[in-house]
Amino acid sequence: MPWSDAVGDLRNRLVADPEFRKSAKAFAPTRGAARENARALFDLMAGFVYTQTVLACTQIDLFSFLKDGPRTIPEVAGHGDLPLDGATRLVRAAASIALLEPRHGGRYALGRLGAALVDEPGLAAMIEHHRLFYEDLMDPLALLRCERKGRLAEFWGYGEESGHAGRPDAYSQLMADTLPMVAEEVFAACDLSRYSKLLDVGGGEGAFLCEVAAVAPALELELFDLPPVAERARAKLKEKGLDARAQVHGGSFLTDSLPQGADLISLVRIIHDHTDEDAKTILSACRKAIRPGGTLLLAEPMADAPGAAPMGDAYFGFYLLAMGGGRARPAERLTEMLHEAGFEGVRVRRSRIPLITDVITARAHSS
Ligand SMILES: C[S@@+](CC[C@H](N)C(=O)[O-])C[C@H]1O[C@@H](n2cnc3c(N)ncnc32)[C@H](O)[C@@H]1O
């Protein structure tokens, strides 16, 4: 048995013994560790209360309200249409988890975490969207046993049949709201201006293309998505004055061929939505469509990103199951899948914030 397993087993035998736990609390040198364990366990049990505290703050737009300086509890109550006692509980709860912090004169200001939520429409949209996920998680075993279709499956909908989408207006808006932070990480990892034509596969309503248009002004742009989403993309790109530069195609990447000839194909937050079988179909469709020597760019959160295990295994593990059966994969597994689809020169480019996305590039043979 490796020594690390033996150490883990010994620790578990000790901590699982009620007598040991009692003496660990009583004995000064082990009291700190016992307290820390109890606190971590409490956080696991109470996590849903913290989540709903953030939701309540977001719903009354509290972080923007405090952006210009601290406010008293009666002011928060007036702003959020809450009774004084409700506002007091909310403000104190938010202060206990670093969303707010108390200031002199009974006022409250933004805390370290609350300040990071100001003017972040993508995060606010995700916090609001998590209400659906929260409903699906009410019965985690039913979710794991795939016993019923949940709210996320209805919302996304495209897991069921190709060409079909659940609520394309709502999910496209959510994706567009959260895309800028992903694009920022992609641009920090790769220079897109050295390509001539980009095809964004599953490009939603064109938010990624709009960001790319600004950093790579000479790049020709193409987008492929389900017909109702492609329709939205046409309207959005026109609104942004990009209709002459960007071509939009409607279809399914599971059953239709992709437009040929781009020397750069992007899959932004696509592969993790799908089962292994569908992911292989999508990668192989990209391989057939890409210009010889072209580059495939895959950007999504990956399961083995350093320090992001709870994000990959807990958050995305459950989220993508509720949505329809996808998974966050380790970069190593994605690399294997890219090789199987006929790509080479695979490079994993860890982003600065792997919670948001990591990036992999791969080359298609030039022959
Ligand atoms: C998670 S969203 C990502 C959108 C965009 N790439 C982004 O990151 O903002 C997945 C996208 O894949 C599209 N999609 C799902 N199934 C599809 C299919 N069979 N064919 C084409 N597009 C599909 C959805 O309509 C949606 O726009």
Q: Which of 90, 115, 140 is the last residue of a domain?
A: 115
Cβ of 279 closer than 6 Å to ligand 1, yes or no, is: no
* Measured distance CA(111)–CA(184) in Å, rounded: 25
Helix axes 84-96, 28-59, angle to 10 degrees: 130
The answer on 108 and 130 residing in a single domain is no
Please tell me whether residues 199 and 311 are part of one structural domain: yes
- CATH at 206: 3.40.50.150
Could you tell me if 323 and 230 lie in one domain?
A: yes
Domain ranges, residue 311: 124-364
The model's pTM: 0.88
Q: 143 and 258 share a domain? A: yes
Q: How far is the CA of 340 from the centre of ligand 1 (A)?
A: 22
Out of 71, 90, 115, a domain closes at 115
The residue written with tokens 């989540």 in the block is: 51
Same domain assignment for residues 198 and 341 = yes
User: CATH number, domain at 80?
Assistant: 1.10.10.10
Q: Please say which residue of 63, 85, 115 terminates a domain.
A: 115
Residue 309's φ and ψ, nearest 5 degrees, are -60, -45
String of DSSP letters for 295-340: EEEEEE--TT-TT-HIIIIIIIHHHHHHHTS-----HHHHHHHHHH
Q: 224 and 107 in one domain?
A: no
* C-beta of 269 in contact with ligand 1 (< 6 A): yes
The answer to whether residues 98 and 157 belong to one domain is: no
Instruction: Write out the chain's pLDDT in tens, 367 residues.
Output: 888 888 898 888 888 888 888 888 888 888 888 888 899 999 999 999 999 999 999 999 999 999 999 999 999 999 999 999 999 999 999 999 999 999 999 999 999 999 999 999 999 999 999 999 999 999 999 999 988 888 999 999 875 555 667 788 889 899 999 999 999 999 999 999 999 999 999 999 999 999 999 999 999 999 999 999 999 999 999 999 999 999 999 999 999 999 999 999 999 999 999 999 999 999 999 999 999 999 999 999 999 888 788 888 899 999 999 998 899 999 999 999 999 999 999 999 988 888 889 999 999 987 6
- Measured from the CB, is residue 236 less than 6 Å from ligand 1? no
Task: Confirm or reject: Cβ of 177 under 6 Å from ligand 1.
Answer: no
Residues 168 and 202 occupy one common structural domain? yes
The answer on 95 and 154 residing in a single domain is no
Interhelix angle 73-80/84-96, nearest 10 degrees: 110
Residues 178 and 230 both lie in one domain: yes
Count how many domains the chain has.
2
Same domain, residue pair 132 and 225: yes
For residues 166 and 301, membership in a common domain is answered with yes
